[in-house]
């Protein structure tokens, strides 16, 4: 299940799940290109880890995504896999949303993955193989209160994974990971406004999760590493649920 020596792009690579992926992939010997809009954090992470390159990238901008792919090829000569983690979130019902919310969430969460696929597919076809792992969410399958636009964007990705699998067979293997409650800055942001302290909220949620803990970014990173490895070569066009068993009885 090794990804040692593989060239892996990680978008959203400076925070939460994305940062966890960058750290884990680098630790197990992959050649990592971290992409993010957080310039200072990205440069600091690359300096800290050593075997990581940072490329400033707004995935909602097609030209920047193309530059990320071209830049990675210039650095390493190939791309073995991409772990797409860049994501945006806004809370609210449909009656609360403004066009700017739509542009942000759909631009990053959906259009960003379309752009990545657009420029990865020709590279993978020329190489003969490549893996595209998209981080979606259990929000694609659960109607979280005041999360309409976010849930819709994640559901779109679940469909995209199936379409990419049928449109690019034989050389582009596309898989999704659907995390549940993962201890990230985005999760903390969803708890803003609650009267109870964050630690108390997390303890209460953990007791309702069948595995009795919140997920950590490294949990997602390890699953992604497996999906990108040659041992997962028969896994395609599907979503791996990584939610501690909560789909049976969501704790939210």
pLDDT digit string, tens, across residues 116-153: 999 999 999 999 999 999 999 988 888 877 889 999 99
pLDDT at site 193: 65
- Average pLDDT on 23-40 reads 97
Tens digit of each residue's pLDDT (9 = 90 or more) over 147-199: 899 999 999 999 999 999 999 999 999 999 999 888 877 767 776 666 777 77
* Mean pLDDT of all residues in 70-76: 98
pLDDT band at 252 (very low <50, low <70, confident <90, very high): low
Q: Which of 17-26, 158-167, 212-221 has the lowest mean pLDDT?
A: 212-221
Which of 56-60, 76-80, 152-156 shows the lowest per-residue confidence on average (mean pLDDT)? 152-156
Share of residues in the chain with pLDDT > 90 (%): 72
56, 115, 119, 150: the active-site residue: 150
**Which domains occur in the chain, in start order?**
7-180+216-242 (3.40.50.720), 185-214 (no CATH)
Taking phi over 0 as left and psi of -120 to 50 as alpha, with beta for the rest, 160 belongs to: alpha
Average pLDDT of the segment spanning 40-63: 97
Between CA 111 and CA 6 the distance in angstroms is 26
The whole-angstrom separation of Cα 248 and Cα 66 is 40
**Average pLDDT, whole number, for the chain?**
92
Residues 89, 87: Cα–Cα separation, whole Å = 7
pLDDT at 7 over 80: yes
**pLDDT of 70 higher than 60:** yes
Whether residue 150 lies in the annotated active site: yes
CA distances from 37 to 14, 18, 64, 88, 175 (A): 8, 12, 11, 12, 24
Backbone φ and ψ for 223, nearest 5 degrees, come out as: -65, -40
Q: What does the pLDDT average to over 16-32?
A: 96
For position 113, what pLDDT does the model report? 98
Tokens of 35: 């992409």
């Amino acid at each position: 299940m090794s990804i040692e020596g593989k060239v892996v792009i990680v978008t959203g690579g400076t925070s939460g799940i994305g940062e966890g992926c960058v750290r884990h992939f680098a630790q197990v010997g992959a050649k990592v290109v971290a992409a993010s809009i957080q310039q200072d954090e990205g440069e600091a992470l690359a300096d800290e880890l050593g075997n990581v390159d940072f490329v400033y990238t707004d995935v909602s901008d097609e030209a920047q995504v193309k530059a990320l792919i071209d830049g990675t090829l210039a650095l390493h000569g190939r791309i073995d896999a991409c772990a797409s983690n860049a994501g945006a979130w806004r809370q609210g019902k449909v009656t609360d949303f403004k066009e700017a919310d739509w542009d942000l969430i759909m631009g990053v969460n959906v259009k960003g993955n379309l752009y990545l696929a657009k420029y990865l597919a020709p590279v993978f076809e020329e190489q003969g193989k490549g893996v595209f792992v998209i981080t979606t969410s259990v929000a694609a399958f659960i109607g979280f209160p005041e999360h309409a636009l976010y849930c819709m964007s994640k559901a779109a990705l679940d469909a995209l994974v199936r379409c990419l699998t049928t449109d690019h067979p034989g050389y582009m293997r596309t898989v999704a990971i659907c995390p549940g409650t993962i201890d990230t800055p985005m999760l903390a942001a969803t708890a803003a406004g609650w009267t109870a302290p964050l630690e108390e909220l997390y303890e209460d949620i953990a007791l309702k999760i069948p595995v009795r803990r919140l997920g950590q970014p490294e949990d997602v990173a390890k699953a992604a590493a497996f999906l990108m490895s040659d041992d997962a070569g028969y896994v395609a066009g599907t979503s791996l649920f990584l939610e501690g068993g909560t789909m049976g009885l969501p704790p939210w």
